[in-house]
């Protein structure tokens, strides 16, 4: 547990995972918490992941962007890879230009 924390790190991760498929209010009601407590738990889990991803992106010398079909002729995604280190950076669920621009402007 973090100093002065009332929830464990594992419980924070659980709450963050639950908010993927449910809204914050529902997760809060199911666990006897406030909306703010759920929001803070998610931020505590997600913020370090975002910082890690941003620092990884800033260190890249080159990227590959490849569009692929999830469902032929209907749904497309985009994979972003590092060709030098041969690593997958991210997979985006859409191939729209605005979403790609927003991703790299993070």
pLDDT tens track for 9-59: 899 999 999 998 889 999 999 999 999 999 999 999 988 888 887 787 778
Note the pTM of the prediction, 2 decimals: 0.56
The alpha helices in the chain, defined as continuous H runs, are: 9-18, 24-31, 35-58, 97-104
Task: Read off the tokens for 17.
Answer: 């995972």
Task: Read off the tokens for 55.
Answer: 């620092």
**3-state class (DSSP) for residue 33:** coil
- Return phi, psi of residue 91, to 5°: -125, 125
pLDDT tens track for 56-103: 777 888 888 888 887 777 677 888 888 998 988 888 776 566 666 666
Q: How far is CA 56 from the centre of its chain?
A: 14
């Amino acid at each position: 547990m973090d100093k002065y924390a009332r929830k464990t790190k594992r419980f924070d991760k659980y709450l963050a995972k639950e908010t993927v498929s449910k809204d914050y209010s529902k997760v809060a009601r199911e666990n006897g918490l406030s909306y703010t407590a759920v929001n803070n738990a998610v931020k505590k889990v997600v913020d370090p992941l975002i910082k890690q991803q941003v620092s990884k992106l800033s260190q890249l010398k080159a990227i590959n962007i490849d569009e692929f079909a999830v469902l032929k002729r209907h749904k497309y995604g985009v994979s972003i890879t590092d060709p030098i280190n041969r690593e997958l950076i991210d997979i985006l669920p859409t191939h729209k230009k605005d979403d790609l621009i927003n991703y790299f402007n993070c």
